[in-house]
Chains A and B, each alone.
Chain A
């Protein structure tokens, strides 16, 4: 199949940095789908982007669709002809396939004779298919926020101003609401104004031409260039903020690093404030000396070639100095008042319209934190968590947090320490209450911080669910799923064993929910879902997740510990033997009738019944001991050992499905007791699927 290279560029007014990579990913995916749909073969596709362009290139795009001969089925011959005269059905079919009646053939299909037509399909030219295909691709690209512009109906994240579409050396005649594709691209807006004419679809040539026009086409290349320059200007390679590098690379086409200074006295500001002010608000990098301390300088990434470096530097310095001067003003203002004296002001800060103020929330969290301290057997922590809970939100009323909201908690810790003179454990807990802030973020490092964080999160979860703000489908406006996951991660990391249901019902007491039971249920579902997420993220197999969650997931630490242990035991023969114990019990009772819960030994008629029942009693209490000790391998060994044989002997010698209903039901009750006992003390091992077994089990 003959093919040619294809080059496509969507030229835009500056796109938001965060949209670029997702747009490029969609462009490749949707283009591939559309080509598959249009039966055009594509190979070796690549994408690239800058703030002003999205580029797609493929080395080979088939010139034509493949030609295939298809058979189209028409009416049955019995309907197509009456006494040898063609009916209207026959004529209509011939017209539909564009053939004459004598070109049609006859064929027997499923015992009946039909008219059929042989039709050649495909063969359309890429150049004819591409214009509408590309318009569809553009219309299918999605972004978080889109707009219209001028008097056009087109919708995109920012106005599209030019299109390049070259197939080989030819322009694809594409018309997007009056914007025609051509061969003209553009270089850097300021450094190389004017257009660049491309002779043919050639990615390397495009990249070179753009480079000469002050555009580095590939984001990774711009990132490398930024890092190289940062280091050349004195940044320590180990302290370079890669996320910021990636952001800057998506803000410029021709990155040039400028080094600026600010007055030494600004270093009196807490490091986190300096870093935030420079990074978040100026996209600038901090500089560190050899001992790891901040220097009174910064590095900014300009979209320029710095022919007049001094001009740009002095501009950046003025902005940075003004920002830092503001921050220093806030720092001085805020320190004039203790956090403790700010608590009352929280009565005016709304947490959530239907859930009252932060003052009220702080009170609830304090009660929950004290309750939790008792629950984990750490009554000694009560004074610390109580104090921390009281002060924890007070930094919301400081000027610094008003200006830099991302510093809430962090400023609380700093102010608690330097202004209020609180002990380190209290101030640390204030900051750690917010952890983990995301899936990647660290968990609280102190127990008091962990207690506070769990208390705060359960209060938010319960409160939001109580007023109907719980997550639905993909909508989770209060990020409750993230908070639920954070809560579970903390409990597991701390190895706390307590009942989540109790925690939920205690948290519910802080609210006056009209239907506490349904709220509790909603929160439980939320946590249940996150528990599965947590296990999946750890690489736990789906059947193991089901097995460990089946007996209940109220004790999160136990569930996770069991899952981890089972994953390790999975390949061992002992584990497989242990599973067969439960499986045999499961298989025989699965479809059997209801039975009373209690086993009545006086109804035993076979000695193996007695043996099994006695043995199970021993094993059951040993399982309970193993559970209390958290010794999963011991529990598995118990089932795989002598008990395994006892059970099999029982099944070999005793007919469970005995005709006498009383005996039968008693035997079923015995087997059920074992199955539920193992499930409660360990996991529902019947859910474990072994390789090659899947089909056999389904029978």
Chain B
């Protein structure tokens, strides 16, 4: 393996190779706007039910409220997660993870690696988990979670989710202070590839997006989701849920949702998630359906 400082592209390839060798399906990003890799069907449905399942993939994740016009050194409208699910979680869950850091060239002997308590939950998905944020010399590089619930269902067996923050890890390994200076591949920076996107999407979500149309979009998507559920079509229904969730995030970033309303909208998305999961568990035919 090359000793040259790893580019973001190489980090992704190394993680794919590492987890692929451990029996993970290397999946592709889901082609809908999502806030986190957890929304991918490979995770949401994959962790439900009893069947063993291992999957890894990159998931571009949109957080409209975190958009900073490409100016902030580590906050982004869209960042990239490398998501791994291992079900059931193995007895050496931590060691497997640490070995992946070594595969990236992070010397765990000489750095200060910590597992610090961090309980995770996604109220929109009805998901909870316990685990840690993994810190390397004080920088958070991974979210490490033992899923306890998904869509309100107690999970058995328990899956472990590793979510690597790719930009953070790359900046850390490359020793750069600003995400835009991260080297994506030799001679190409993150900024060259992503800055315009970050800028335009930030402008759009903070001042461009038409609020009343977004409310309409949210409501239409919810209706479509309900219609698909009525037709017992789980995956189309779930795709409309993803859209609802994204449009909710756009509206939220604009401060268009009051605290009181917030709870109500989150409950609406969660109820869709619950029904998708319940329908899926009803007719689950094994892992083939996850993707």
Q: Contact residues of A with B, CB < 8 Å? A: 13-17, 51, 145, 147-151, 157-159, 161, 190-191, 251, 282, 300, 302-304, 307-308, 311-312, 314-316, 318-320, 322, 325, 348, 350, 353
- Evaluate contact between B148 and A148: CB separation under 8 angstroms: yes
**B111 is contacted by which of A16, A251, A315 (Cβ under 8 Å)?**
A315
**For the complex, what is the distance from the CA of A17 to the CA of B109, rounded to whole Å?**
22
Question: Could you tell me the distance in whole angstroms from the C-beta of A672 to the nearest C-beta in chain B?
Answer: 56
Question: Could you tell me the distance in whole angstroms from the C-beta of A225 to the nearest C-beta in chain B?
Answer: 16
Partner-binding segment picked from B86-94, B196-204, B228-236, B241-249:
B86-94
Contact residues in A for B91 (Cβ distance below 8 Å): 150, 161
Question: Could you tell me the distance in whole angstroms from the C-beta of B130 to the nearest C-beta in chain A?
Answer: 4
Q: Looking across the interface, which residue of chain B has its beta carbon closest to that of A323?
A: B138
- Evaluate contact between B110 and A307: CB separation under 8 angstroms: yes
Contact residues in B for A15 (Cβ distance below 8 Å): 117
Q: Check B157 for interface membership: any CB of A closer than 8 A.
A: yes
- Evaluate contact between A158 and B130: CB separation under 8 angstroms: yes
**For the complex, what is the distance from the CA of A145 to the CA of B120, rounded to whole Å?**
12
Contact residues in A for B210 (Cβ distance below 8 Å): none
Contact residues in A for B117 (Cβ distance below 8 Å): 14-17
Scan B116-135; emit 1 where CB is below 8 A from any A CB, else 0: 11010000000001101000
Contact residues in B for A150 (Cβ distance below 8 Å): 88-91, 157-158
Contact residues in A for B157 (Cβ distance below 8 Å): 150-151
Q: Looking across the interface, which residue of chain A has its beta carbon closest to that of B118?
A: A16
- Evaluate contact between B94 and A13: CB separation under 8 angstroms: yes
**A350 is contacted by which of B73, B156, B260 (Cβ under 8 Å)?**
B260
Contact residues in A for B253 (Cβ distance below 8 Å): none
**B138 is contacted by which of A149, A282, A304, A348 (Cβ under 8 Å)?**
A282
**How large, as a class, is the contact surface on chain B?**
35 or more
Residues 211 to 246 of chain B near chain A (Cβ within 8 Å): none
- Evaluate contact between B259 and A353: CB separation under 8 angstroms: yes
By Cβ-Cβ distance, the 5 closest A-B pairs, closest first, are: A315-B137, A16-B117, A151-B157, A14-B115, A319-B138
CB contact under 8 A between A319 and B130, given known A150-B157, A312-B112:
no
**For the complex, what is the distance from the CA of A17 to the CA of B118, rounded to whole Å?**
11
Scan B43-86; emit 1 where CB is below 8 A from any A CB, else 0: 00000000000000000000000000000011000000000000
Scan B179-204; emit 1 where CB is below 8 A from any A CB, else 0: 00000000000000000000000000
Q: Looking across the interface, which residue of chain B has its beta carbon closest to that of A18?
A: B117
Question: Could you tell me the distance in whole angstroms from the C-beta of A508 to the nearest C-beta in chain B?
Answer: 24
Q: Check B139 for interface membership: any CB of A closer than 8 A.
A: yes
- Evaluate contact between A304 and B110: CB separation under 8 angstroms: yes
**21 A-B Cβ contacts within 8 A?**
A13-B115, A14-B116, A14-B132, A15-B117, A17-B117, A145-B130, A151-B88, A161-B91, A190-B109, A251-B116, A302-B137, A304-B110, A304-B111, A308-B107, A311-B111, A315-B111, A319-B137, A322-B177, A325-B73, A350-B260, A353-B260
**For the complex, what is the distance from the CA of A617 to the CA of B106, rounded to whole Å?**
89
**For the complex, what is the distance from the CA of A143 to the CA of B111, rounded to whole Å?**
31
**For the complex, what is the distance from the CA of A159 to the CA of B95, rounded to whole Å?**
13
Q: Looking across the interface, which residue of chain B has its beta carbon closest to that of A307?
A: B110
- Evaluate contact between B139 and A319: CB separation under 8 angstroms: yes
Contact residues in B for A300 (Cβ distance below 8 Å): 138
CB contact under 8 A between A190 and B108, given known A251-B116, A350-B259, A353-B260:
yes
**For the complex, what is the distance from the CA of A191 to the CA of B111, rounded to whole Å?**
10
- Evaluate contact between B156 and A148: CB separation under 8 angstroms: yes
Contact residues in A for B111 (Cβ distance below 8 Å): 304, 311-312, 315
Question: Could you tell me the distance in whole angstroms from the C-beta of B154 to the nearest C-beta in chain A?
Answer: 8
